[in-house]
Amino acid sequence: MTIQATIRRITDPRDFGRVAVVMGGSSAEREVSLNSGQGVLDALKSRGVDAHAIDGIPALLDAVRAGHFARVFNILHGQHGGGEDGVLQGALDSLHIPYTGSGVLGSALSMDKVRSKWVWGSLGLPTPKFMPLPRGGDVHAAARHVGFPLIVKPASEGSSVGVSRVFDESGLDDAVTLAQRYPGNMLMETLIEGDEFTVSILGREVLPSIRIVPKGEYYDYNAKYVAEDTQYICPGLDGDAEAGLRSLALRAFDALGCSGWGRVDVMRDRQGRNWLLEVNTAPGMTSHSLVPKAAAQAGVDYAELCWRVLATSFDREAGGAA
């Protein structure tokens, strides 16, 4: 499924100038980011791009202010130094340095799962029933409102960090204790029982969906980054069902003001209804990651994918991205 593409076609690696691949950082997803970043760096260099690794936001901003880089490939993950929550995007905007991924609004909204859901709900887009859960709030009252089974997770983390599935009252307190290890508030939402899908977006192209089939009960951190027995079926659906899922993913992406590239995670229940979970504005690019798998299905290898993601930064340079 392709919506009219706006990515500028770049054929000469010199057109990118000197590129900072910013990775690592200080969020809970640092190790995943370092892994992603090394892959991106190697791929860009293999295509002749003058790319260099930078660890974290302070080092990046020092280098940018000193005039060392023309643009930034942001492969940081998470918030609070993770570079995915709008803070880095605002700093780079103020310095007039183009970068990959969504801008301030799309990054901030996507990182905050509660506000993402408020936006989707206001537009009639399907997302599981949920309750924001501030620290010190009555978690048992919230659980009665949402109903079991449910999910407890930090409202602003990724990579399944701090996530628990809770089937009755006995598991609730431990789930909250785990989620509270991470900064910010929590989120409680209905556990949708069914199949997990993800849909990647590159520019205005919606890549084939992936149905994720973990060996264990669900797609947790281990299944994402460690296990070798998780199955990835791409495309995840056929015909009208696949088209409908991709269309919903693009609507969800646009609703949050996202741009450049990203990944939309969706649950599909036993009745065939799709439920939006979250948008990732700087998705993983490790050997286990999902965007490269979807791109490969569409005939785009890893190095070409990195090139195309970097090329989306020209849309921002021209003022075309939010």
263 is known as an active-site residue: yes
Among the listed residues 30, 71, 204, 263, the single catalytic one is 263
Among the listed residues 24, 29, 112, 116, the single catalytic one is 29
Among the listed residues 102, 159, 185, 313, the single catalytic one is 159
Three-class SS of residue 29? coil
Q: Exposed, middle or buried: residue 99 (CB in 10 Å: 0-12, 13-18, 19+)?
A: buried
Cis peptide bond N-terminal to 183, omega within 30: no
Among the listed residues 225, 262, 274, 316, the single catalytic one is 225
Among the listed residues 157, 184, 284, 289, the single catalytic one is 284
Give the span between the Cα atoms of 71 and 100, in whole angstroms: 8
Tokens of 74: 């942001």
Among the listed residues 110, 200, 280, 289, the single catalytic one is 280
280 is known as an active-site residue: yes
Q: At what angle do helices 239-255 and 113-122 cross, to 10 degrees?
A: 110
200 is known as an active-site residue: no
Polymer length in residues for the chain:
322
**Number of H helices and number of E strands within the chain?**
12, 13
Distances (CA, A) of 146 to 101, 168, 170, 189: 33, 12, 16, 6
Q: At what angle do helices 104-111 and 87-94 cross, to 10 degrees?
A: 170
Query: Nearest CA to 72 among 48, 45, 52?
Result: 52
265 is known as an active-site residue: yes
Among the listed residues 265, 268, 289, 316, the single catalytic one is 265
Among the listed residues 278, 289, 308, 315, the single catalytic one is 278
Give the span between the Cα atoms of 113 and 133, in whole angstroms: 12
Distances (CA, A) of 152 to 176, 196, 224: 7, 17, 19
Enumerate the active-site residues: 29, 159, 225, 263, 265, 278, 280, 284
